[in-house]
Amino acid sequence: MSSARATSSPPPLIELQGVTKVYGHGQAAMVALHGIDFRIGRGEFVAVMGPSGSGKSTCMNILGCLDTPTGGRFLFEGVDVGRLTRDQRALLRRHYLGFVFQGFNLLNRTSALENVELPLIYRGIPARPRHHAARRALAAVGLSDWERHSPGELSGGQQQRVAIARAIVTRPAVLLADEPTGNLDSARSVEIMELLTAFNRDQDITILMVTHDPEMAAYAGRQIHFRDGRILADADGKERQ
């Protein structure tokens, strides 16, 4: 990687270089990622697939700047995230990333609307445009009539859609979604996928989505397959095996 090339072409949006992740120490050490390398360019829509326990969520947490790799480097727009401070990583999350957690992680006893507004509060958006944006995001996932309901009063699928609304309300540069359709019926899943596709296409939002469902993965332009903490295959949709 010569310096001439680094300056001439812009760095990829996301680049993982030999990323490893080890949980625990010594005897109890458990290697979740064995050196992952990939690049993701701006505007890509990537499906991450693989069996349970293969390290998909671990990788997503690292990409979401929530966790740090044990070894290797994670570059975000050429910046080594491992060198950033805690607060700098928080600001990166605040301004560039949207995250749909595998377990939703909505705030209890807080209305759907307020949950969706939360990332906008931390971005310092004033109340009026904030409400407006949150309503629009809820409408986009088909929950206009459920604004006032708290997570406890919503079904699993509805909670998942609130979580999606919360992730897209800020129009992040990168949307990281860990099984965003895991709790939805196929009709709903298709709606969500079309929503994400539209986001990816119209607003140039880069999407990484973990899914077990090949039909959902088919919406993505590229699929990365994990197995036992390694990348088994990485191909764009047209030429997948």
Provide the 10 A C-beta neighbour count for residue 24: 10
| CB nearer Mg ion, residue 55 or residue 113 | 55
Site for Mg ion in 82-141 (CB under 5 A): 102
Residues in Cβ contact with 145 at an 8 Å cutoff, skipping those fewer than 6 apart: none
| Segment contacting another protein by CB under 8 A, of 16-24, 33-41, 103-111, 138-146 | 103-111
| Segment contacting another protein by CB under 8 A, of 28-36, 90-98, 200-208, 231-239 | 90-98
| CB nearer Mg ion, residue 57 or residue 111 | 57
Residue tagged 């760095």 (tokens): 11
Q: Is 211 in the site for ligand ATP (CB under 6 A)?
A: no
Cα of 92 vs its chain's centroid, Å: 13
Stretch 14-53: interaction string toward ligand ATP, x if CB under 6 A: ---------xx-----x-x-----------------x-xx
Site for ligand ATP in 63-122 (CB under 6 A): 102
- Give dist(CA 33, CA 14) in Å, integer: 17
- Give dist(CA 62, CA 165) in Å, integer: 22
- Give dist(CA 74, CA 18) in Å, integer: 9
